[in-house]
Amino acid sequence: MTFGPGDRIGDYEVLAPLGAGGMGSVYKVRHAISQRVEALKVILPNGSHTPETAERFLREIRLQASLEHPHIASLHNAFRISPGQTGPGQTGNDELVMVMEFVEGVSLREKIRSPGITLGQALEYTSQVLAALEYAHGHGVIHRDIKPSNVMIASHGVVKLLDFGLATSSITGREGGDATDDDATELTLTQPGTLLGSPYYISPEQARGERADARSDIYSTGAMLYEMVAGRPPFEGTGGSGAYAIIAAHLHQTPRSPCELNPQTPQELARIVLKALAKSPADRFSNAQDFLAALKSIRVDAVRFHESATVAGTGTGAVEAPAHSDADLERASKDLATYIGPIAHILVRRAAPESRTLGELYQTLAQEISSAAKREQFLACMPRATLSRAAPVSHSGGGTPSAGSRTSG
């Protein structure tokens, strides 16, 4: 089935298409009763999918439902649509759909293609992806398709990991079976010789058709960080055989050090990236927590020195004094947490580099509070000198406008 703006899918009105993945299409929708904007994913058109595809889609729904984390796009609902539940001219045959959190922002792929990502941003985005993976792996879920297009940068730099369509689970009892049942199901859903993942970010063991574990996600995350830091993926192909050449490189070649492609890269960061890209899983970080700890161990002053230098080398590399003191940021975090909870700390740290004054910072953060009255209360927390210079805040609700929006595809 395909849908257009104005079509109805159950209680949801289609607002716009968001994109399509290997297994389904995603639409921006609005619930008729709650008026909440969400993202709805429907399996490929009738006749285009196999029973294995339908089973994998059901798997995705169940795995996604088991995960609840600030950096993972959440599942809101799942249901089947019958012929009487679709819009004019549409047909249905009890097709399965899933309703996801609508993530407003830009994908990491779009961010990489923009003028540049600072080293500080690269570390922040990767750290949030690793936090999501640490949680998912702790629940026995391996993503198996980590790539920039599956990472959304929401308002103020908050990362959301998307699309668990290729994910697998190793937790005993998942989906009503034990670990042996899960292995058997995975062998059924993944035919011999099937390539899982993107050629640019695929781990060597996935390229060989072997079973992936948490260290495969570590490799793919390392490849993604490499691209953010070096300005290009670890391996690139040319001509009609590009994909095969890239896969062969993942299997047999050692990537150049990111320092060779971007001299602004700290040596320690380059070492960490190359460790994540080790050919043998045993030589990589054993888990996402270790990878995350390694990134945090990089000297803070080295990161600050390079903060203004983009991966494309267009920055000056000069040291810039921070616009806000630690005390200011801590106060802003406490003030905002009163209205939105612990995530306030993350939002403040993301918004701070884009705000020239403390007043601008408070104005930006106020957009995260849905209630107009509470926004005014939050703004009243600003220091008096700051408040007098602040511009009026919008009362339209929601986050700041951005270049695009999507969720799992």
* Site of tokens 């080398």: 313
User: Which one from 145, 163, 217, 335 is the annotated catalytic residue?
Assistant: 145
The rounded distance, in Å, linking the Cα atoms of 29 and 46 is 21
Q: Rounded to whole angstroms, what are the CA distances from 212 to 200, 201, 376?
A: 16, 13, 50
Contact of 343 with 71, CB cutoff 8 Å: no
The answer to whether 145 is a known catalytic residue is yes
Cα angle: 129, vertex 301, 215; to 5 degrees: 25
Phi and psi of 253, rounded to 5°? -105, 155
Any idea of the CA torsion for 133, 137, 42, 102, to the nearest 10 degrees? -40
Comparing CA positions, the residue from 34, 14, 33 lying closest to residue 25 is: 14
Q: Rounded to whole angstroms, what are the CA distances from 375 to 382, 392, 395?
A: 12, 11, 8
Comparing CA positions, the residue from 194, 197, 279, 199 lying closest to residue 238 is: 199
Contact of 201 with 224, CB cutoff 8 Å: yes
> DSSP string spanning 264-297?
TS-HHHHHHHHHHT-SSGGGS-SSHHHHHHHHHT
Helix (H, G, I), strand (E, B) or coil at 76: strand
Handedness of CA 256, 258, 264, 266 (dihedral sign): negative
Residues designated catalytic: 145
